[in-house]
Amino acid sequence: MNVYNKINNDTLQKDIRRFHTEEPLLHRSNYHRDRDRIMHSVAFRRLANKTQVFTTDKGDHYRNRLTHSLEVSQIARSLNLFIGGNESLTEAIALSHDLGHPPFGHAGEDILNHIMIDDQGFDHNIQTYRIVTSIEKRYANFAGLNLTIDTLEGVLKHNGPINAKAINNKKFYKKLEQESKINLISQPSLEAQIAAISDDIAYNCHDLDDGIRAGFFSIDDLKEIHIINKILDTNDLKFGSMDSNIKTYEMIRSLINNLIHDVVDETIRRMEKLNINKYSDIKKTNELVVNFSDNLNIEIIEIKKFLHRNMYKNKNVLVNSDYGKKVLKDLFIFYSKNPIMLPNNLYNSYGIKDNTNKRLICDFIACMSDSFAIKKFNNL
């Protein structure tokens, strides 16, 4: 069942406003244009050298932020095919959701948030918004990528609605609401919800794959997770004896397929329960429409707990995280004391004249790749 077969024709009445008016293109829709601009951005290319779990010098076969974003996009397109929604908008949100991540993944985000705690902190979703609205410099008529409001809303509400407390505590949100007229406390759009749950599916499944590759645990260790144990038994009956790598790949494939089918079935069930009759109803609900079933949510929690114990808290991962925090903290201290060492064109590019501005320095460091940050740290 496809959402388009259930809800009324207001499905296509999306918010195609941009901050800067542009002439429409004959061969591309507004959301095609958003997706293409994201893929051509410098920030998107930098994701190839930014940490997912492992720093990018640990091997070619581990996920980085770019490969993760592409995998999220692929899963989102699959879900979009069954659930409905605008595929280009779904893909634009999926591809852009991690643009704001600094070097060294969540460890980098944590240290920058600590450094900036007295100046609104650091949040990778907000940073993504700032990248695509001001930091990227590619066009003569405007700063940023001038994406549609729909795509910007999907970026901001990637993890769900923004709660009232956060809006009251951050000047950024209040200013954004006034400028964009985005309703931050409503549920995300159908496309944003698809992109968000695709992110969950991608990193949970693929972190298991990378953890096995790194030798943190074996595929047999995963038998403590009910859904994976069931998949392994089914695949043993189906394929018989397999090479260990093939066994892992087949397990990951089956897990992704199971999660996708569960999301499709649960979304249809929720649409019926919540009486979703038109596209605009989705944002008015008190809960997500696109979600796992209750049973699968329990399984997802078990997978996350397993990864937390056996991967994210692994001493090798923690050592790299601590090193990344030191690199970014020392770079911030250095540039704060020596602003003359910042790039000459940074002030004009960022629209800030004060070369001691903490946010400018934070933006410069957050936009670095892992290897560039390490190189600067070693040189300075």
Q: What is the pLDDT of residues 2-34, one digit of tens each?
A: 554 555 444 444 567 898 888 888 788 999 999
Same domain, 289 and 354: no
Q: What is the pLDDT of residue 69?
A: 96
Q: What is the pLDDT of residue 106?
A: 92
Q: What is the pLDDT of residue 260?
A: 97
**Mean pLDDT estimate for the chain:** 90
Three-state DSSP string of the chain: CCHHHCCCHHHHCCCCCCCCCCCCCCCCCHHHHHHHHHHCCHHHHHHHHCECCCCCCCCCCCCEHHHHHHHHHHHHHHHHHHHCCCHHHHHHHHHHCCCCCCCCHHHHHHHHHHHCHHHCCCCHHHHHHHHHHHHCCCCCCCCCCCCCHHHHHHHHCCCCCCCHHHHHHCHHHHHHHHHHCCCCCCCCCHHHHHHHHHHHHHHHHHHHHHHHHHCCCCCHHHHHCHHHHHHHHHHHHHHCCCCHHHHHHHHHHHHHHHHHHHHHHHHHHHHHHCCCCCCCHHHHCCCCCCCCCHHHHHHHHHHHHHHHHHHHCCHHHHHHHHHHHHHHHHHHHHHHHCHHHCCCCHHHHHCCCCCCCHHHHHHHHHCCCHHHHHHHHHHC
Same domain, 62 and 139: yes
Same domain, 128 and 219: yes
Say how many domains are in the chain: 2
Same domain, 221 and 310: yes
Same domain, 267 and 304: yes
Q: What is the pLDDT of residues 222-270, one digit of tens each?
A: 999 999 999 999 999 999 988 999 999 999 999 999 999 999 999 999 9
Percent of the chain with pLDDT over 90: 70
Read off the CATH number of the domain in which 225 is found: 1.10.3210.10
- Residue 350 clears pLDDT 60, i.e. is over it: no
Same domain, 236 and 339: no
Q: What is the pLDDT of residues 32-43, one digit of tens each?
A: 999 999 999 999
Same domain, 144 and 216: yes
Same domain, 300 and 321: no
Among residues 271, 288, 316, which one ends one of the domains?
316
Same domain, 271 and 181: yes
Among residues 316, 348, 368, which one ends one of the domains?
316
Q: What is the pLDDT of residues 297-333, one digit of tens each?
A: 999 999 999 999 999 999 999 999 999 999 999 999 9
Same domain, 308 and 289: yes
Domain that holds residue 375: 317-379
Instruction: State the Cα angle at 150 between 4 and 170, rounded to 5°.
Output: 135
Among residues 316, 344, 364, which one ends one of the domains?
316
Q: What is the pLDDT of residue 8?
A: 43
What global pTM score does this model have?
0.92
Same domain, 283 and 326: no
Q: What is the pLDDT of residues 174-229, one digit of tens each?
A: 888 888 888 889 999 999 999 999 999 999 999 999 999 999 999 999 999 999 99
Same domain, 64 and 83: yes
